[in-house]
Amino acid sequence: MFRFFENLVDPFAHHPDSDAPPRRLWPFLRDYSRPFTGIFVFAGLTSVAVAAIEILLIAYLGRVVNLLSDADPRQTWAEHGTELILVALAILFVRPVIQSLNVLLLNNAILPNFGTLFRWRAHSHVMRQSVGWFENDFAGRIANRIMQAPPAAGEAVFQVFDAMTYAVSYIVGAAILLSGADPRLVIPLLIWGILYGFLIRWVVRRVGPASEAAADARSFVTGRVVDSYSNIHSVKLFAHHDKEMEYGREAIALARTKFQFEMRLYTLMDVMLTVLNGVLTVGVVGWAIALWYSGAATVGVVATASALVMRLSGMTGWVMWAISSFFRNLGVVAEGMETIAQPIALTDHPGARPLQFERGEVRFDRVTHRYGRETGGLDGLDLTVRPGEKVGLVGRSGAGKSTLVKLLLRFYDAEQGRILIDGQDIGTVTQSSLRRQIGMVSQDSALLHRSVRDNILYGKPDATEAEVIAAARRAEAHEFIEGLSDSKGRSGYDALVGERGVKLSGGQRQRITLARVILKNAPILVLDEATSALDSEVETAIQETLYGVMEGKTVIAIAHRLSTIARMDRIVVIDEGRIVEEGAHDDLIRRDGLYARLWARQSGGFLDLEAAE
């Protein structure tokens, strides 16, 4: 039974990706709720049915009171016994079926699946964002919004059917029941209803913004805390414990202030609600007693009115809390939408086709990219890397070398100019097909918090164990991998490497990264300080491996350690976003230009950039 309701909606079912999801709250929620339309209808109907049954039971309570008042028990049973038995059977069997159906729809069909669908689609959308988009935000804040918004949306939907639909149905049913006994009993209920509506409006207009501000403050706390945790090495190295504590305290204090304001609203709401419920009780019950005193109403009417009022009084606090919770959760969703609903800025071109790799020629055609600034980056750069050619890039920090690589991988779209691979503009091919043809080893050799094997397999998920080990051997990594172990007792290739590979040394991370690229075996190879974290002995061995890996590939290598690129077919020197020199190592030394000065200023194979400038 549970499985049937749990499987009414598949939260992971295929859905068309939207590059520009709705930016307003209600269209956004409506778009995510489409798979649940039918279930929402049935949930609403069952909520109305549950409220109607409770109203009918209270009405029947009044009838029972009238039947038992001043009547002979035997005669009453003889005349109404069958009726009482049928009502009892309905209470025992019919009511639980309807109530169970309502609960199953809410608890098993909607709650687990709606939040899961929301989180899955939100995660799917965020994962399609560009590298630049992630660089402009805290990873912790992004993750926090992905985690907070879906359950908040699910809770809001739950409140609609568990409380709001039920409450409206109950109040309408109570008015109908009281008017049937005596229309005058509806007057105090209407007065109370109007005042209650004003109170709800007052609360809702304030709770929504207050909840959104509180949710934003909580995300702010998460962002700062995660930033400190993820950079704990720097915190400890510079002895900035107190500075980081103060950094976190500011955010936590702000979250407290926002939460205090939110709670003040709830306190005022509770006080005003208590006064309103007093008005309702005195008005309806008092009027019913007055009608009974004048002979215009029976004892059963007084009993029915009293039961309804007590139930309404007890329910109003729950309903008000549910409504405020509904809008509070909407505030959390709205805050999450600041991340989840951002349009995808870097998309595949309409009609984009997979890159057709032929020879491996890479050409930068008048490429300019300054990240929206007036200086920096690349400035009208022209560069052609012939098929199978090994090109080294040299230049001072900020000259544009890393920008060139990021544009080649299409982490950003060039502001001007084109980049072509085998004559195909990379802006017109699919991003995934482009990146499948490029293997890259960067100086930031961060790893996934998974096993060593999983990290190497990232280069080729369907590789065999033998291929993984062979790649590790070529990267001079197999020997140290064999000696690894983690806190759970896993060892060797099964050992987890920690967040971003923190459990390994820089050289070990670099060699696993190299193994991953070796396993990928892409025809275009990009090396960005590929041996920067290695000691001299290991670097010598890795250098020979790299030159072996380069065979038959088009290679672009960035290096400050000039010894790593001296054997390249061609060296390109970039300064202020433009090519200022190019040629073989020996030719550039003879020209006595910028490259020669950089080479002369080396110390132990590294560039002395300050002296070169």
Residue 296: is its pLDDT beyond 80? no
For residue range 120-131, list pLDDT tens digits in order: 998 988 988 888
Q: Are residues 191 and 60 in the same domain?
A: yes
- Asked, for residue 573, whether it belongs to a domain, the answer is yes
| Helices assigned H by DSSP within 294-361 | 299-340
What is the band of 548 on the pLDDT scale with cuts at 50, 70, 90?
A: confident
- DSSP calls for 517-538: HHHH--SEEEEESTTTTS-HHH
CATH (domain of 152) = 1.20.1560.10
- Asked, for residue 478, whether it belongs to a domain, the answer is yes
Report the alpha-carbon angle 384-416-578, nearest 5. 50
Residue 608: is its pLDDT beyond 70? no
**How far apart, in Å, are the Cα atoms of 569 and each of 112, 395, 555?**
59, 17, 10
- Asked, for residue 464, whether it belongs to a domain, the answer is yes
Residue 226: is its pLDDT beyond 60? yes
- DSSP calls for 192-234: HHHHHHHHHHHHHHHHHHHHHHHHHHHHHHHHHHHHHHHTHHH
CATH (domain of 560) = 3.40.50.300
- CB neighbourhood size of 283 (10 A): 18
Rg (CA), the chain: 35
Q: How far apart are CA 166 and CA 54, in angstroms?
A: 10
Q: Are residues 313 and 368 in the same domain?
A: no
Among 340, 371, 392, identify where a domain stops: 340
Q: Quick one: CA dihedral 319, 321, 325, 328, positive or negative? A: positive
- Asked, for residue 10, whether it belongs to a domain, the answer is no
Tokens of 165: 């639909």
Q: Which residue has the higher pLDDT, 492 or 265?
A: 492
Q: Edge-to-edge strands of the sheet including 424-425?
A: 378-385, 362-369, 416-421, 424-425
Q: Are residues 297 and 156 in the same domain?
A: yes
Q: What is the average per-residue pLDDT within 75-84?
A: 83
Q: Which residue has the higher pLDDT, 238 or 467?
A: 467
Residue 24: is its pLDDT beyond 90? no
What is the band of 366 on the pLDDT scale with cuts at 50, 70, 90?
A: very high
Q: Are residues 422 and 466 in the same domain?
A: no
pLDDT given for residue 602 in this prediction: 64
For the chain, what is the domain count? 3
Q: Are residues 52 and 66 in the same domain?
A: yes
Residue 603: is its pLDDT beyond 50? no
For residue range 244-292, list pLDDT tens digits in order: 888 889 989 998 998 888 888 888 888 888 888 888 888 888 888 888 8
Q: Are residues 286 and 403 in the same domain?
A: no
Quote the mean pLDDT of the chain.
Answer: 85
pLDDT given for residue 77 in this prediction: 82
pLDDT given for residue 604 in this prediction: 42
For residue range 313-337, list pLDDT tens digits in order: 777 777 777 877 787 788 888 888 8
Candidates 304, 410, 326; CA nearest to 367 is 410
Residue 396: is its pLDDT beyond 50? yes
Q: Are residues 172 and 236 in the same domain?
A: yes
pLDDT given for residue 410 in this prediction: 92
Q: Which residue has the higher pLDDT, 50 or 533?
A: 50
Residue 611: is its pLDDT beyond 80? no
Tokens of 422: 């085998």
pLDDT given for residue 360 in this prediction: 92
The H or E element spanning position 570 is: strand 570-575
Contacts of 363 (CB under 8 A, 6+ apart): 383, 384, 385, 419, 420, 421
Of all residues in the chain, what percent carry a pLDDT higher than 90? 28
What is the band of 580 on the pLDDT scale with cuts at 50, 70, 90?
A: very high
Q: Are residues 120 and 222 in the same domain?
A: yes
- Asked, for residue 18, whether it belongs to a domain, the answer is no
Q: Are residues 277 and 327 in the same domain?
A: yes
Q: How far apart are CA 307 and CA 301, in angstroms?
A: 10
What is the band of 235 on the pLDDT scale with cuts at 50, 70, 90?
A: confident
Give exposure, 544-583, as e/b (b: 16+ Cβ within 10 Å). ebbeebbeebbbbbbbbbbbbbbebebbbbbeebebebbb
Among 288, 305, 340, identify where a domain stops: 340
- Contact between 598 and 562 under an 8 Å Cβ cutoff? The reply is yes
What is the band of 533 on the pLDDT scale with cuts at 50, 70, 90?
A: low
Among 521, 540, 559, identify where a domain stops: 521
Query: What is the residue type of 252?
Result: I
Q: Are residues 247 and 375 in the same domain?
A: no
pLDDT given for residue 606 in this prediction: 47
What is the band of 35 on the pLDDT scale with cuts at 50, 70, 90?
A: very high
**Domain of residue 478, residue span:** 439-521
Q: Which residue has the higher pLDDT, 571 or 376?
A: 571
pLDDT given for residue 202 in this prediction: 84
- Asked, for residue 5, whether it belongs to a domain, the answer is no
Q: What is the average per-residue pLDDT within 560-581?
A: 85
Q: Are residues 186 and 234 in the same domain?
A: yes
- Asked, for residue 542, whether it belongs to a domain, the answer is no
Q: Taking the model in full, what pTM does it have?
A: 0.74
- Asked, for residue 17, whether it belongs to a domain, the answer is no
Any idea which of 85-94, 146-155, 443-452 has the lowest mean pLDDT? Answer: 443-452
Q: What is the average per-residue pLDDT within 9-28?
A: 87
Place of tokens 């992905």: 146
- CB neighbourhood size of 329 (10 A): 24
Q: Are residues 564 and 485 in the same domain?
A: no
